[in-house]
Structure 1
Amino acid sequence: MLKRTRKRPLLLTVIMVLLFVTACSSGSNNAEPEAPANTSNEQGEQPSAEASLVNASGFPIVNEPVKLDIVAGLPAGSHPDWNDVMLFNEYEKKTGIDVEWQMISTSVLNEQRNIILASGELPDVFYAAGIPDGDVMKYGQQGMFIPLNDLIDNYAPNIKKLLDENPDIRKGLTMPDGNIYSIPRVYDPAFTSVLINPKQWINTKWAETLDLKLPETTDEFYDYLKAIKEGDPNGNGKADEIPFGADGIGRLTKYLYGAWGLQNRGSRHAYVDVNPETDELRFFPTDTKYKEMLEYIHKLYSEELIDPDIFTVNSSELLARLGEDVYGVYNSWDPESWANIENFTGAPVLAGPHGDKLVVSNSPLTGLGHFVITNANKHPEATMRWIDYFFSDEGTEMFFMGFEGVTFKRNADGTTEFLDEIVKNPKGLSFDQAIAQYLVWPGGGMPGIVSQKYFRGGESLPLSVEAAKLLEPYVPEETWPPFSYTTEENTRMAAIDSDISTYIREMQAKFITGDVPFSEWETYVETIEKMGLAEYMEIYQAAYERYKNG
């Protein structure tokens, strides 16, 4: 039965703001929204007038029905309308909290979310709305997002436990003003396969045909790709094989960073790591090792060992080409659940020319802006209890596995597995399509804990788990979560980083393709320095010191 939809002014307000923005597009639209009247950081820490409605534990969460308006990002592959999905309909029965979901496609989410924030007509919650880390701090200080510190301590035992047991996650969530404004999406630190992702995959059929051993150094990797290009492993007498492919050059650089000891504090920090010789922060895109890596990739590219379309090919196009069996090696999502191919295995770690042999890992804290409570919310205590359940073992099982007897069965040893309705759907639906009839997690971006125990995406499959075991010994001991910046720092960093990042990406492509020779390297470095690199690193250093000191 369809859930009753209540008409609210939020969508109408968004439409009105859209019309206003369109009408004013010829003028300046860079002014930041003003803080709503009579708000402060302290306001969110005070018990609301509705706190007496909330039960301290158990279900229902509230003694009287409560309604919440939540704006949510809708990724491709998820259930199209969360107002009529089993997960949240059943959760409403448990909690007494009726959520009206306003779904916004992730393809237009950034624009729509910013319009809502500018309108001042806020929902009670933004959920999976892709709020940038800097905006979490900005709107928190403006009072639009309320601080959650006391709410976590008093109404979120599962989230509090997570933060107490993982100080780095707490530090990553805490803003320079001492407040936590958001609830995260977290990778279980023990779930190695999801922390090291995407991975590198090697075509075992072609390796066997050419009698090739898996490469373990960058020199061997070059020889391996060369053998595929020249060996006709598909046996059709044509040189139509593509030795290496990926949906973006960033996949390849991330894989090769470790062979030159770069990005050694994790992928959440695109350009800054630690110099192992000085133990100081390093901006590595101007380091000689980065230059050597680019020279190596240029060699692969110039000898046609890399897909010539690597700078433009998207994941859908890569997936289609994988089905045509043209790649000897590819870097993206797992071959079984994503690409439905079986003749690939995980690649080992590569040792570089200086003996570096590292794996670039993801931080357990994937980002900040997955769940925020706004100052329009009259039930923050109930809202915090609502989200906290999805950080419990029982709530995580419900979110990712669904409901016993409907989507999964429980084995005698306590483990769970999906029913044939999901994994062998009689209507021919894919796994994601089948599970999306009941749950919302396909597509990602939701707050909660992604654990191997309950998450059944590709990273949990045996092939991915085995591939991760090869890589795990080479993960650096320390992986940084995202750093936080003061409002002033964030404003300056955003401006400097935009220019520097754009230039780095442009020059990376030009160096690799040969459009710019490496004799221009010093000019490249000097240009970055003139863009404000010294100030960039000063801000980074300040954020790093705050992180180290908790």
Structure 2
Amino acid sequence: MKKNRLIAAVAAAALVVSGLAGCGSSASTESAQTVPAGTETESSVQKSSEAVNKTGYPIMNEDYTFKIVYAVGSTDKIGGWENKDFVKKIEEDTGLKIQWVGIPEASYNDQVAIMIAAGDLPDAFIGQIPNFAQFLDSFVKMNDMIDDYAPSLKEFFDKYPNIKLAGMFPDGSIYGLPEVQLDGYVAGKSLAINKKWLDAVGMEMPETADELFDVLMAFKTQDPNGNGQADEIPFAFYKDRKFDILKSAFGFAGYDEKDYKYPYLQVVDGKVDFYPVSENYHAYLQYLNKLYSNGLIDPNGFIQEEVDMIAKGTNDQIGVFPNYSYDDITVGDYAGDYTYLLPLKDSNGERHYQPSAWSGTVIVNQFAITNNCPYPEAMLRLYDYINSSFDNRLLFGWGPKDMAWVDNGDGTISKKADPVLEGYNSYAEVRHTLSMGIKGIFLWTEEDNAKFAVTSDREIKYMERQKPYMDCAVKEFLPEGQDYPENTQEINVLLTELRTYMDNFMAESVMNGIDDAKWQKHLEDCRKFSYERYTELNQEYYDRMMKLAEE
């Protein structure tokens, strides 16, 4: 690995901009100069513990300027944090001296990779490191420091052990810390159905596959939008959002989409199962072909983009569609006509739904301290300071009062989003110009988010579907976490071919049908594309994660 880095460093030397050169500076850098990266002598540990206060402020007893590299968000109107008010507050409150080095997010991965290859590291990074697991010897293991230097983080991990688990490597080590924005919404994926059309055709909410077929047939034949044209699309979808929620009717739950980390897999009684070779999946494909053959699903769905589906939705043409966010994104002013459709009952009367891993956004390994940092405890205390109170999380994650949010005077707050602050085009611009925003390192909890007043119809509808969907959620699924780099690489290689095959196979099966001969060939093809090895690797990962969770 060192040889590869040396080669990469020589090739990249001319590309590293001068603003990125060097690490933090100190009046006394003897420790950093004499101790090789990745090692800690007794004297260096003692020096660090003497220089860094475990509690209180200032954090440091030594004169040292830390260098922190971070990603600049595309919606940051100023283009960097260096002279912003929230940075001044950090330095005033903590006493830390920090050189902030921002890299535009479009080039962040490339420039950080060059820095790591060259060994030209800052004290810390705010922003995920590309291929982080391959470079752990360049970063500080934090497990033994958290209890003493990050009480707020420890409290957070105790409350959300699944998020802690997501950042742990197979041996239990923690080299990176998360950025978290929880919102209480675990049931993000759903189906939306046009209740106005249901009333127009005089039918009840469908609960089984057969009932849904009958409803879709009525949507096709009875002109529910009342325009005198046969322009209704009973079931709409696009190439990245298809039929996954319908799997419930056939006794299983899982996702195939390209943005899902563990496609084609479910967990049953602790065993990872590749469901595309099951008879339930066979029946699921036959049902989809029945819908297609009767003209009940959009024939352009496999090739169209989301924008194409939106054009139809905003023209009052859609009966049912996969809704992974707010329904007004797809159907615009017709959003009031729609409600959620629960996962359908299977032959045993049971529903199956796979929820999100957590309720909101979790970016693992968003904050990492390098081995070039002589005082890693100080950087950990900085992370903890940002998360030490609700007021801090609000300021550093959203922005200042009366600019990014307002106090409603009743214990709640509201985002200042309609209208946004003068001079800004969107709330994202306000947030990421006046605070770290989603590019930062704040731990926003569900309790924090509950202080935002929920007043819009779209938020209320989103909240209303949470409990009904979660009542039918599966109890077992692959958790988010870190795997061995070599396993991750092998899985990615297997998935490249497997995804291409499965996408083509599904489209072919839905449009042209799936008889016994085609099904047998499919089973052979899955073996050819090493589904058994893919399943085995994920079983090993699942078992390791369950063991870590018990420790």
**Partner residue in 1 for 2:483:** 485
**Partner residue in 1 for 2:523:** 525
| Aligned partner of 2:148 among 137, 142, 154 | 154
Give the CA RMSD over aligned residues: 4.0
Matches within 5 A, 1:66-77: 66-72=65-71, 74=73, 77=75
Q: CA deviation at 1:284?
A: 1.5
Q: Structure 1 pair 43/438, CA: closer, same or farther in 2 (3 Å)? A: farther
Task: Give yes or no for contact 2:219–2:319 (8 Å, CA) kept in 1.
Answer: yes
**Partner residue in 2 for 1:448:** 443
**Partner residue in 2 for 1:199:** 190
SS in 2 for 1:423: coil
Q: Aligned letter for 2:189? A: P
SS in 1 for 2:521: helix
Q: Aligned letter for 2:384? A: D
**Partner residue in 1 for 2:405:** 408
Q: Aligned letter for 1:409? A: V
- Structure 2 length normalisation: TM-score? 0.77
The aligned length equals 507
CA distance in 2, matches of 1:387, 1:270: 34
Q: CA deviation at 1:361?
A: 0.7
Matches within 5 A, 1:376-391: 376-391=372-387
| Aligned partner of 1:139 among 129, 135, 145 | 135
CA distance in 2, matches of 1:60, 1:315: 51
| Aligned partner of 2:493 among 483, 492, 495 | 495
Matches within 5 A, 1:163-242: 163-186=157-180, 188=182, 191-193=183-185, 195-242=186-233
Deviations 1:84-103 (A, max 9, x none): 66554544444445452423
CA distance in 2, matches of 1:498, 1:466: 37
**Partner residue in 1 for 2:465:** 467
CA distance in 1, matches of 2:530, 2:432: 47
SS in 2 for 1:196: coil
Task: Give yes or no for contact 1:350–1:357 (8 Å, CA) kept in 2.
Answer: yes
Q: Does 2:244 match 1:254?
A: yes
Task: Give yes or no for contact 1:130–1:445 (8 Å, CA) kept in 2.
Answer: no
**Partner residue in 1 for 2:286:** 295
Q: Aligned letter for 1:514? A: N
| Aligned partner of 1:398 among 395, 398, 406 | 395
Task: Give yes or no for contact 1:192–1:472 (8 Å, CA) kept in 2.
Answer: no
Deviations 1:80-134 (A, max 9, x none): 624266554544444445452423335x665555455444434444434374xxx
Q: Structure 1 pair 514/115, CA: closer, same or farther in 2 (3 Å)? A: farther
Task: Give yes or no for contact 1:41–1:146 (8 Å, CA) kept in 2.
Answer: no
Q: Structure 1 pair 433/340, CA: closer, same or farther in 2 (3 Å)? A: farther
SS in 2 for 1:257: helix
Q: Aligned letter for 1:417? A: S
**Which region of structure 1 is more displaced relative to structure 2, 83-92 or 496-505?**
83-92
Q: Does 2:341 match 1:347?
A: yes
CA distance in 1, matches of 2:308, 2:127: 26
Q: CA deviation at 1:73?
A: 6.5
Task: Give yes or no for contact 2:190–2:340 (8 Å, CA) kept in 1.
Answer: yes
Deviations 1:219-276 (A, max 9, x none): 2222223222223233222222323334534x33332233334346996532332235
Task: Give yes or no for contact 1:187–1:450 (8 Å, CA) kept in 2.
Answer: yes
Q: CA deviation at 1:474?
A: 1.1
Q: Does 2:392 match 1:360?
A: no
Matches within 5 A, 1:3-22: 16-17=14-15
CA distance in 1, matches of 2:40, 2:278: 45
Q: Structure 1 pair 325/549, CA: closer, same or farther in 2 (3 Å)? A: same
Q: Does 2:332 match 1:332?
A: no
Q: CA deviation at 1:357?
A: 0.6
Extract unaligned runs of 5+ from structure 1: 1-10, 20-36
Q: Does 2:111 match 1:104?
A: no
CA distance in 2, matches of 1:12, 1:325: 59
Task: Give yes or no for contact 1:263–1:271 (8 Å, CA) kept in 2.
Answer: no
**Partner residue in 2 for 1:129:** 128
Q: Structure 1 pair 14/166, CA: closer, same or farther in 2 (3 Å)? A: same
CA distance in 2, matches of 1:467, 1:159: 31
Q: CA deviation at 1:153?
A: 2.6
Task: Give yes or no for contact 1:274–1:280 (8 Å, CA) kept in 2.
Answer: yes
- Structure 1 length normalisation: TM-score? 0.78
Q: CA deviation at 1:416?
A: 1.6
CA distance in 1, matches of 2:13, 2:312: 41
**Which region of structure 1 is more displaced relative to structure 2, 509-518 or 529-538?**
509-518
**Partner residue in 2 for 1:510:** 508
Task: Give yes or no for contact 2:125–2:367 (8 Å, CA) kept in 1.
Answer: yes
Q: Does 2:411 match 1:425?
A: no
Q: CA deviation at 1:334?
A: 0.5
CA distance in 1, matches of 2:204, 2:39: 60
Q: Structure 1 pair 38/15, CA: closer, same or farther in 2 (3 Å)? A: closer
**Partner residue in 2 for 1:30:** none
SS in 2 for 1:461: helix
**Partner residue in 2 for 1:6:** none
Q: Structure 1 pair 112/290, CA: closer, same or farther in 2 (3 Å)? A: farther
Task: Give yes or no for contact 2:248–2:353 (8 Å, CA) kept in 1.
Answer: yes
Deviations 1:311-330 (A, max 9, x none): 34444444454433332223
CA distance in 2, matches of 1:62, 1:459: 49
Q: CA deviation at 1:294?
A: 2.5
| Aligned partner of 1:269 among 256, 262, 272 | 262
CA distance in 1, matches of 2:388, 2:407: 18
Q: Aligned letter for 1:415? A: T
Q: Structure 1 pair 162/115, CA: closer, same or farther in 2 (3 Å)? A: same
**Partner residue in 2 for 1:4:** none
Q: Structure 1 pair 349/73, CA: closer, same or farther in 2 (3 Å)? A: farther
Q: Structure 1 pair 512/424, CA: closer, same or farther in 2 (3 Å)? A: same
Q: Structure 1 pair 229/423, CA: closer, same or farther in 2 (3 Å)? A: same
SS in 2 for 1:541: helix
| Aligned partner of 2:236 among 242, 245, 254 | 245
SS in 1 for 2:266: strand
Task: Give yes or no for contact 1:265–1:274 (8 Å, CA) kept in 2.
Answer: no
Task: Give yes or no for contact 2:412–2:453 (8 Å, CA) kept in 1.
Answer: no
SS in 1 for 2:228: coil
Task: Give yes or no for contact 2:139–2:175 (8 Å, CA) kept in 1.
Answer: yes
CA distance in 2, matches of 1:185, 1:109: 17
Task: Give yes or no for contact 2:124–2:370 (8 Å, CA) kept in 1.
Answer: yes
State, as a whole percentage, how many aligned pairs show the same letter.
Answer: 25
Q: CA deviation at 1:77?
A: 4.8
Q: Aligned letter for 1:168? A: N
CA distance in 2, matches of 1:522, 1:475: 31
Q: Structure 1 pair 295/145, CA: closer, same or farther in 2 (3 Å)? A: farther
Q: Structure 1 pair 381/445, CA: closer, same or farther in 2 (3 Å)? A: closer
Q: Structure 1 pair 345/41, CA: closer, same or farther in 2 (3 Å)? A: farther
CA distance in 2, matches of 1:236, 1:15: 66
SS in 1 for 2:414: strand
CA distance in 2, matches of 1:454, 1:490: 39
Deviations 1:454-491 (A, max 9, x none): 57899992110012122121122345422433344334
